[in-house]
Structure 1
Amino acid sequence: MIRKAASKELSCFENINLMNEPKVSVIIPTYNRAHIISETLDSILNQTYQNWECIIVDDGSNDDTENIINKYLKDDNRFKFYRRPDDRLKGANACRNYGIENSCGAYIMFLDSDDICESFCLEERVKIVTSDLSIDLLIRDGAFLLDDVKQSFSFNKDPELKESTNYLRMFLSYTIPWQTTAGLYKKSCIRNCKFDENLKRFQDVSFNVKVLSQTNQLKLYRDFKIDTYYRVDESKVLNNNLISNILESLVIFYDIHSDLLTKQNYLADFRKFSCKIILEFAIPHFDKNKKEVNLLFKWFLRSDLYSFKQKTCLLNLMLLLNTRLFSIKGVGMNKFRVHLKKVINK
């Protein structure tokens, strides 16, 4: 059974009585996950907190995913299933946005279709946010699930002062403070914050930048307990288009957030972001992604993100890569990498 989407006004009524066990909408995009999605859905089904809905949006699976999900729909009407509409771009971003549009909860939580939650996850998260209704975003710790073994250490990162502006700067410098599964978002605070459907990489970064940079600064509460697990799956990142997608997405990311990034307060942060992409992806993978790397450097040189000295350094790097001078004895890659990092991050 597939639920038909309707307008938010007609399809559901949002629970606004936050003191009376608010509904939590858990949104899961999926694609060809028949072999593993049951673990994710079971972890939702086993929640000690009962007032939830689990919205699963399929991205065009051609395996047995839908049949697996139908079993959960039959047994529990809190599970809801949609197919991504044909007029929406393919990808998890469109699925998440469609899930938000059809959600009824006062709070939103995002999961990938191979992540899992502890049984106490929703109960404890709701207890925290209802103890202080001014909390807009709760962040808890998450850990990796490696070879079906739950890791005992958190992957979260925190600034010295745990304020929303400092977390924003971490995202802008590509120092990821949390995976999106770690958050419980008040729905009213993300009404104007959607996932960018044309981004192939940095989707979560872009979404959280939007959330954290809203005009009315939100109240963020940080709690240090692991309650979700992000499955380490090489297929999530290792594919033939990984590098080209990263390089292309950086330009799109800048266009989306250009107003924010051109503010002097955040220029240095985004320069760190671009420097990491250059060092970790553009230089090591130049030979196989020459076109994309050169387009990225040309964009850097045209942008207003960098000073004349920084652009000179980038231009020199571009010339060195294209003339393959790094392969000549005496022209040291490591020295130039250190120099580049120093100049760009200044």
Structure 2
Amino acid sequence: MLSNYTKAFAYYIGLGPLFLTLIGLFLPSYQVVFLAECTVALIAALLFININLLTQLNQWFIEKVISISTISCFLTLLLFGMPFASRIVLFSFINLFFNLFFTIIRPNTKNIILLLINFFIGYVNLQPFSSSIFLGITLLILISYLFESLVTHNISFYQDRFVILICSLLISIVIYISQLNTDHYFIVPTALFLTALPILGVLVLSYGLVRSELKVKLTPVLIYLLLFTCIFGQAGLIIAQEVINPWFIIELFILLTAILISFSSNISKNSKISIIIPSYNGADTIVQTLDSVISQTYKNWEIILVDDGSNDNTKEVVGKYLKENPNIPVKYLKEENKDQLNAIKYALPHINGEVVHILHSDDLLASKYVLKQGLFSLLNQRVVGTFINLEEVNEQGKHIRLVKTASFYPTKQTLAKAAVTFGRNPYVDVVFWTKDIFENSVYKNYLTNNMPAWFDNENKEILSISNGIFTSLKYRIFEGNYLNSQDGAVNVLSGELRFFHHLVHEMRIPQFKWQSFVYRVLRKLNCDSLYPVIYIKKKSSLSDLTPKIISLRLDSLENRYIHAIYDFSQNYAPNDNVVVDLEIANIYHGADIRIFNRKLSNGTLEKGYYQIMKIISSGKGIWQVPKQDIRKYEEILEFFTIKDYVEIEEINK
């Protein structure tokens, strides 16, 4: 998540075209303009020096800079017209290149609109050779996409992205044809030659800085990004007769630094991938699942198969399969039935890979390139995980639909949008993770507390996860799916309430009902990226919100666990206190909700929990507990989804 300082820095850099235009408009001579440009460039350099964490200059920082810069160029044309167009020609090249790149990664409405704006700027901005550079940019991105998807299979081929690139190419051709009578091509070789010295200097300086801090390694994708952007960008500047522009040199240095940070990784190209397969009564499908792993073109992997107390013949089926395939690296583990999240946790001590992926025993890897694509996505981006797209199939494996993960941005807006959708996770749970983040943040938030894995509640942060450009999973949809039952709905609701209550404790959303309605409509129209949810940094009342989210999942309050949470929202008294000192041996977490409900329904739940639910229903906002039990009650309150709304005070026992 970008700090407020880094966001302000992004705005300052993105507004560069407008700054330069205003300088040229109000200052009398070229010499004075140059001094003013040096001043704003120096300010940018000083702001850059004061960034606390270099890793804040990530891909989302670049996308924000490019988005602001595109709007800045557009406003410059609208406000000041063509006489000042030469001052934004260079920025339009850089903006178009990165805008196309990010549209491929995150093809949302916002990026497509910005892409159209960039083409509009290119069409009306009739500068020497600019149409040729626009055409070259779109052609290069299209060729790169086709090469990576159809030849190397590092990403998947998607028709929507291909259509976007083809339309972009056609627009570039139209712009090129409209400028064919421009007689400036004789200066192109000179411009490209003069590019070498300033670009090499900036590139060496930027790479030296990042290399010393983060020990990055250049990747092929990074190389063509750097070379094309720098060489043609500076050539465009020379062609536009702005040979020396200190602002551009500083901006170029900052963007190069951000590129080196964003599109590099410490993951090795030969990293082992640990595939965790939790299975409960998966005898009918487990062989197909294992076959989908064995068929992968990438071979450095291991399988950790956790049998979650199956009562079918899963063990025999797996045993026979391993005898027939004695050389495949599979660890078969068996434990008592504790549900899938606990089964995944059971595998953690056995992980040997640097990358971790979860594959359920009734699902399949979508193609033979999935592991290669997952590793490629992590290898070329400085992130802790990469989301995947999935293909829903029926019980017989026939295609239903392709589910593409929403564009992910590690911002407060992502949390606000999750809040107005009542805590429902807008992203798939299937991710390729780096091992360290999986064993720490994912373990605590997803595997233990059953909340979205991309949200680190303990540190109130959003993890840096990329949108992978590939389909990883064939996800089976069963008619009698457990999640569609009343019991399953309670379990899903538990996680949604926990996530939702954490969110609304930190923000209040004015006109929640209407903002939620508008956002959900725009989301169905695939225009949700255009809507900024308005929120205030203030705790929300649960009295209206909690009943609403419960009613979306359940028709009644017969479940006592849910009923206690509902009562708390209605009776909440933040200043009322109660002494809580109970004998409770077993502590439940979000991952244990199915076990808890099973004991609740058959009457085997510890008596202390009935008293806990009674206290929760009273709505007391201050719990006074013995010092040695503080941690225990924090975990209990987290299980009941209301930890943030209850203050724990220490009492001497």
Same fold? TM cut 0.5: yes
1:235 matched to 2:507: no
Task: Give the C-alpha shift of residue 169 in structure 1.
Answer: 4.8
Cα distance, 1:90 vs structure 2:
1.1
Q: Which of 114, 119, 138 is residue 386 of structure 2 equivalent to?
A: 138
Measure the CA separation in 2 of the matches of 1:208 and 1:304: 32
Aligned partner of 1:24: which letter?
I
Aligned counterpart for 2:360 among listed residues 93, 99, 112: 112
Corresponding position of 2:549: 277
Matched position secondary structure for 2:402:
coil
Shift of 1:150: 2.5
Please state if 1:78 is matched with 2:326: no
Alignment partner, residue 51 of structure 1? 300
In 2, the alpha carbon distance for the partners of 1:260 and 1:186 equals 26
**AA matched with 2:482:** K
Partner of 1:108: helix, strand, or coil? Answer: strand
With over 3 angstroms needed to count, the CA separation of the structure-2 counterparts of 1:49 and 1:266, relative to structure 1, is farther
TM-score (norm 1): 0.66
Instruction: Indicate the residue corresponding to 2:340 in structure 1.
Output: 92
Q: Which protein shows a greater Rg?
A: 2
Deviations 1:286-307 (Å, cap 9, x if unpaired)? 17x26455323212124589xx
C-alpha spacing 1:92/1:259, structure 2 compared with 1 (3 Å): same
Task: Note the C-alpha offset of 1:143.
Answer: 2.4
Paired with 1:175 and 1:258, the residues of 2 have a C-alpha distance of 12
Contact 2:272 2:352 in 1 (8 A): yes
- CA separation in 2, counterparts of 1:259 and 1:246? 16
TM-score by length of 2: 0.37
1:184 CA drift (Å): 0.7
CA distance in 2 between counterparts of 1:69 and 1:286 reads 42
- Equivalent residue number for residue 400 of structure 2: 151
Tell me which moved more, 74-83 or 110-119.
74-83
| CA contact 1:73–1:80 (8 Å) conserved in 2 | no
Q: CA deviation at 1:97?
A: 0.8
Task: Answer yes or no: is the 8 Å Cα contact 2:345–2:447 preserved in 1.
Answer: no
Go from structure 1 to structure 2 and tell me whether the alpha carbon gap of 1:238 and 1:158 turns closer, same or farther (over 3 Å shift): same
Map Cα deviations across residues 67-112 of structure 1 (whole Å, 9 max, x no partner). Answer: 111234332331111112x5xx711111111112211111111122
* Partner in structure 2 of residue 123 of structure 1: 372
How far off is 1:126 after superposition?
Answer: 0.8
Equivalent in the alignment of 2:563: 294
Please say if residues 362 and 476 of structure 2, whose CA atoms lie closer than 8 Å, have aligned partners that are also in contact: yes
Distance 1:125 1:43 in 2: 15
Contact 1:286-1:293 at 8 Å conserved across structures: no
- Structure 2 partner of 1:263: 506
CA 1:125–1:272 in 2, change beyond 3 Å: closer, same or farther? farther
Tell me the equivalent position of 1:225: 470
- Give the 3 Å change call, closer, same or farther, for CA 217–70 of structure 1 in structure 2: same
Q: Decide whether the 8 Å contact of 1:26 with 1:55 is kept in 2.
A: yes
Shift of 1:276: 5.4
Matches of 1:219 and 1:197, distance apart in 2 = 16
1:189 alignment partner AA? I
Q: Secondary structure at the match of 1:301?
A: helix
Aligned residue runs from structure 1 range 298-337, under 5 A: 298-303=567-572
Cα separation, 1, equivalents of 2:321 and 2:339: 23
Q: Distance in 2 between matches of 1:40 and 1:168?
A: 34
Residue pair 1:247, 1:296 contacting (<8 A) in 2 also: no
In structure 2, what is the Cα distance between the partners aligned to 1:129 and 1:269?
40
**Residue from 400, 405, 410 that aligns with 1:163:** 410
Tell me, which stretches of 5 or more residues in structure 2 are unaligned? 1-264, 508-536, 575-653
Give me the whole-angstrom Cα distance separating, in 2, the residues matched to 1:272 and 1:144: 35
Instruction: Report what 2:429 is aligned to.
Output: 180
CA deviations over 1:100-138 (Å, ceiling 9, x no partner): 221111111112211111211110111221123x22111
The aligned residue for residue 329 of structure 1 is none
Classify 1:293/1:93 alpha carbon distance in 2 versus 1 (closer, same or farther; 3 Å).
closer
Q: Say whether the 8 Å CA contact 2:455–2:462 is kept in structure 1.
A: no
**Structure possessing the higher relative contact order (Cα contacts under 8 Å, 6 or more residues apart):** 1
Q: 1:52: how far off?
A: 0.7
Report deviation, 1:168.
4.7
User: For residues 268 and 291 of structure 1, what CA distance do their matches in structure 2 show?
Assistant: 24
Question: Do the aligned partners of residues 80 and 174 (structure 1) sit closer, same or farther apart at CA in structure 2, a change above 3 Å counting?
Answer: same
Q: Deviations over 1:37-71 (max 9, x none)?
A: 21211111111110111111111111110111123
**Segment of structure 1 superposing worse, 261-270 or 48-57:** 261-270
CA deviation map 1:178-236 (0-9, x unaligned): 2222x11111123223167997xx83x343433x8746764321123322122112323
8 Å contact kept, 1:24–1:105: yes
* Cα-to-partner distance string for 1:221-253 (whole Å, 9 max, x where unaligned): 1123322122112323233523444555566x3
Is the 8 Å Cα contact of residues 25 and 105 (structure 1) preserved in structure 2? yes
User: Distance between the aligned counterparts of 1:109 and 1:271, measured in 2?
Assistant: 39
CA-atom RMSD, angstroms?
Answer: 3.6
Alignment correspondent of 1:101 = 349
Q: Which SS does the other structure have where 1:38 is aligned?
A: helix
Taking only the aligned residue pairs, the percentage that are identical comes to: 20
Deviation at 1:156, TM superposition (A): 2.4
Once residues 213 and 299 of structure 1 are traced to their aligned partners in structure 2, the CA distance between those partners, rounded to angstroms, is 23
Structure 1 CA distance, aligned partners of 2:470 and 2:317? Answer: 31
1:4-43 residue pairs with structure 2 within 5 A?
A: 18-43=267-292
Q: CA deviation at 1:263?
A: 2.2
Q: Which amino acid in the other structure matches residue 40 of structure 1?
A: T
Q: Which has the higher helix share?
A: 2
Q: What is the DSSP-based 3-state SS (H/G/I as helix, E as strand, rest coil) of the residue aligned with 2:304?
A: strand
Tell me: CA distance 1:171–1:228, structure 2 relative to 1, closer, same or farther (3 Å). Answer: farther
2:393·2:401 contact (CA, 8 Å) conserved in 1?
no
**More divergent stretch after superposition (218-227 vs 20-29):** 218-227
